[in-house]
Chains A and B, each alone.
Chain A
Amino acid sequence: GAGVSQSPRYKVAKRGQDVALRCDPISGHVSLFWYQQALGQGPEFLTYFQNEAQLDKSGLPSDRFFAERPEGSVSTLKIQRTQQEDSAVYLCASSRNIIGLSYNEQFFGPGTRLTVL
């Protein structure tokens, strides 16, 4: 079946612009995660949804970052007034949430590469 998809794959923004990044998770996956990966670094957690509820947003670097998942499926990560330090690859992952399993594997999308000029 289809995997996690993200759009756009590449985004160039001028400093100060707002951007919106979309994630389409695997159908039926309850959990959705956003990660930020700077060049040459490992991904860092941003936020987590279970269905439409945002249960953890501890990784969002500032109040310019906002994420939503209003119907418990597609999610959007919005960055307001972009800064150069926001340049990174933004990865989305989804997983089932099967109670009793020691781990529910996260499946990653290809990412959106954001460049802020």
Chain B
Amino acid sequence: SQQGEEDPQALSIQEGENATMNCSYKTSINNLQWYRQNSGRGLVHLILIRSNEREKHSGRLRVTLDTSKKSSSLLITASRAADTASYFCATTKAAGNKLTFGGGTRVLVKP
């Protein structure tokens, strides 16, 4: 079974706007990651945040983690058409361990 849920399930925005999606999980974690999956392509790792971190940035990506609420958010700033994809959060309980994914948010960025 999946770790938790992502919200919203789908998101449609104009190019240049920001996209925000949320992820909730159920059990304690070692770290949380976000992945992107384009149609017909594999999963690509975007960013990792450890359980003792609260916020992390990478380029146009900003991730937050609230372990007390068991939730995380991913913000993509100044979105581009190429950001159109499904985004998944995934958690691990220990280093080298299996990933437990959420259900994903499908993002459509209109040019």
Contacts and interface: CB of A to CB of B under 8 A. Distances in A.
Contacts of B6: 42
Interface residues of A, number: 28
Interface SS majority for chain A? loop
B72 to A, nearest CB: 14
A22 B41 CA distance: 17
Given A41-B104, A43-B101, A97-B96, A105 B45 contact: yes
Contacts, number: 65
B81 interface: no
Given A102-B31, A102-B50, A109 B102 contact: no
B45 A45 contact: no
B104 A42 contact: yes
Nearest to A102: B95
A106 B42 contact: no
Contacts of A97: 96
B98 interface: yes
